[in-house]
Amino acid sequence: MARVLEGMYIGGGWSNAAKTFDDLNPSDGSVWARVPDAGREDARQAIEAAQAAFAEWSALPYTERSHYMLKVAEIFEKRQMDIVEALQGEGGGWFGKGMFETGYVPEIFHAAAAANYTAIGEVLPSEHGKVSMAVRRAMGVVTVISPWNFPILLTARGIAFALAAGNTVVLKPSEETPYTGGLLFAEIFEEAGVPKGVLNVVTCSRDNVAAVGDELIENPYVKGISFTGSTAIGRQIAAKAGAHLKKCCVELGGKDSLIVCDDAEMERATQAANFGSFMHQGQICMSVEKVLVHEKIFDEFLEKFVARAAKLKVGDPGKDKGNIIGPLINDKQVGKVREQLEDAIAKGAKVVLGGGINGRFVEPTILTGVTPEMKLYQEETFGPVVPVIPFATDAEAIAIANDTEYGLSAGVMTQDEQRGLAIVNRLETGNCHVNCSSVNDEPNVPFGGVKASGLGKHGGRWSTETFTETRWITLERGGRPFPPMF
């Protein structure tokens, strides 16, 4: 039976759109919920509600805004198990993935609350004896467009620091996860007693996303935009934001490598490859999409990697907690994975594990013989399919890892940290991890990519910088004279 949702959340109240759209369970295609299908006017009303709430919210003592963030975190903790169930039903996530995500989100709100207790500026030297200060101030209305793959984590990351700093927010979640990525937050913020209009949530179908998205960027009350999603859409959003001279933070796709050196600890390396490639069916922006292995240990690594990945159970995660590999989010994504797989096989790649596709369920798949002319080598896959590619020298591994338009994350496996750092310093990525997977995040770190993987940073004080404006303020105390002719 489909879940009944209260409606959109605008100005502290619940309202329905003129029509709804179906929110599907990706495991079986059943209707999980019926969701309000907002139009451009609904988005405009939400932005106006956020603008109306901004002055009072931003004027609150920073301690009060922090206390609200802590209350939100507390409710997330209280509701953990029902949120895990929703993540499984709406997003097709494994039970363990849901437990991780629901455990992580409260820490984001804790970190956002803590950010208010750190410095918000600095005193600068002045040759004229002024008291010269650089300070940060809330921008106004920030719109947040969040993705479906880690809907509560990536929504929380987009809104928490912006709100704590004194901005108000209009949130549009993905049409694939409108509840866990959006309306769930409205429920929790309402229960936490956050003032009306501080957080507003509008949901819409794919049919209306262009019009709603344009309003979220172009409306003159909107001062900043946060987007997490595909590079193709991120380019469009950043271009439109730039045309309106608006601040924009976009975290986009990746084609991330795990480099396994010949001195890597084998158990750790195969586990990093397995987790990085197949966690949440590879539907993570920083998933391992190329495993690069030194030729001296290639055969041993491949054998042990295949054996480890073969143990991952495929199936509906809502029916069995042991099902680690759930469904891809929709048929379009399955089609993309199938196209890359078939293209690679047609051009000479060899499947050494998996390769089967049953509906939206794709087996953990490992290939060898993947070369640069294959789509699987160049394009982001966002599925549980990964090539293992040999290299002879560290320089060759670096060249392969950098041979992509993307630059989000990477991992380097070696017992020589100096060697690892030497490799890291030549990789064109925003994030990199020695002796760990490319899949890494913490609430207080600067997270973001380079090249086609995005602009701007989320996390810790970098989120505060992203979602505030820097101002220069002086107090004249040195008696700096004006020219006498004036």
Query: What DSSP assignment string belongs to 148-211?
Result: SSSHHHHHHHHHHHHHHTT-EEEEE--TTSTIIIIIHHHHHHHHHTPPTTSEEE----TTTHHH
Give the closest residue to 387 by CA, choosing from 400, 369, 407, 363. Answer: 369
For the chain, what's the residue count? 486
Q: In this structure, what are the phi and psi dihedrals at residue 227, rounded to the nearest 5 degrees?
A: -135, 135
Distances from the Cα of 155 to the Cαs of 236, 328, 380, 404, 409, in angstroms? 20, 20, 22, 27, 20
Q: What is the residue whose two structure tokens read 């804790």?
A: 110
| Residues recognised as catalytic | 251, 285
| Cα(167)–Cα(429) distance, integer angstroms | 30
Strands (DSSP E) found in 255-337: 256-260, 288-294
Structure tokens at 486: 């004036």
**Fold entry, domain 256-434:** Aldehyde Dehydrogenase; Chain A, domain 2 (3.40.309)
The pLDDT assigned to 398 comes to 98
Give the closest residue to 323 by CA, choosing from 334, 312, 333. Answer: 312
Q: What is the pTM of this model?
A: 0.96
CATH class assigned to 3-252+449-473: alpha beta
The pLDDT assigned to 119 comes to 92
Q: Do domains 3-252+449-473 and 256-434 have the same CATH topology?
A: no
Q: Given its phi and psi angles, is residue 459 left (phi above 0), alpha (psi -120 to 50 degrees) or beta?
A: left
| Cα(252)–Cα(254) distance, integer angstroms | 7
| Cα(186)–Cα(75) distance, integer angstroms | 12
Would you write out the chain's pLDDT as a tens digit for each of its 486 residues?
Answer: 788 888 999 999 999 888 999 999 999 999 999 999 999 999 999 999 999 999 999 999 999 999 999 999 999 999 999 999 999 999 999 999 999 999 999 999 999 999 999 999 999 999 999 999 999 999 999 999 999 999 999 999 999 999 999 999 999 999 999 999 999 999 999 999 999 999 999 999 999 999 999 999 999 999 999 999 999 999 999 999 999 999 999 999 999 999 999 999 999 999 999 999 999 999 999 999 999 999 999 999 999 999 999 999 999 999 999 999 999 999 999 999 999 999 999 999 999 999 999 999 999 999 999 999 999 999 999 999 999 999 999 999 999 999 999 999 999 999 999 999 999 999 999 999 999 999 999 999 999 999 999 999 999 999 999 999 999 999 999 888 899 999
Strands (DSSP E) found in 344-446: 350-353, 357-358, 361-362, 365-368, 385-391, 410-413, 433-434
The pLDDT assigned to 117 comes to 96
Structure tokens at 297: 């240990």
| Cα(272)–Cα(437) distance, integer angstroms | 5
Domain locations along the chain: 3-252+449-473, 256-434
